[in-house]
A = this chain, B = another copy of it.
Amino acid sequence: MTERPADQPEEAAVTPLEVAAHMRSVNPMMQDWGMEILEVTPGYARLAMTVRPDMSNTFGTCHGGITFAFADMCLGIAANSYNVCSVTASSDVQFLAPIPFGTRVIGLATQTWRGPRNGFYDARVENGEGAPFILVRARFRIIGGPVVPARGG
């Protein structure tokens, strides 16, 4: 492994996209629901998913619990993109519009503020034209330790 300055954490050797790929491999939900990772950079994630009839709520549209879980996955990938373990501590969720079956939703998560113990991340799930379905603001607690062990040599 290449020598790195002391102040740069070893886990930095793992890229945001590698962390996301690892997360996809261990989250059955991401595979079962067909979540696609479109883009991951430090503190940012963009995913896609197509809403299916087996995700139905009582009223024949996408279940809010599933929409939230998709947004939470986007947020989790953004929050863990530094390869430092972070878990959702709280979420404020606003449901704006129902999502019809067959819709390919895009989930975008961005970092609002990150301190030593907590990080705040915002997500929106929207359709292809940018019309939002839900907005989520989440606090992540930074628990530390790498998500993916650094490649050693």
Chain A residues in the interface with B (C-beta under 8 A) = 22-23, 26-29, 32, 53-60, 63-66, 68-70, 72-73, 76, 80, 85, 87-96, 98, 112-113, 115, 118, 120, 122, 124, 132, 135, 137, 139, 147
Closest residue on chain B to residue A58 by CB atoms: B23
If A54-B28, A90-B93, A92-B137 touch, whether A85 touches B70 (CB-CB below 8 Å) is no
In angstroms, Cα B131 to Cα A134, docked, is 28
Please give, as numbers and ranges, the residues of chain B lying within 8 Å of A96 by CB-CB distance: 113, 115, 118
How many copies the complex holds: the figure is: 4
Closest residue on chain B to residue A118 by CB atoms: B96
If A93-B93, A115-B96, A135-B112 touch, whether A26 touches B72 (CB-CB below 8 Å) is no
Please give, as numbers and ranges, the residues of chain B lying within 8 Å of A147 by CB-CB distance: 58
CB–CB A26/B58 < 8 A: yes
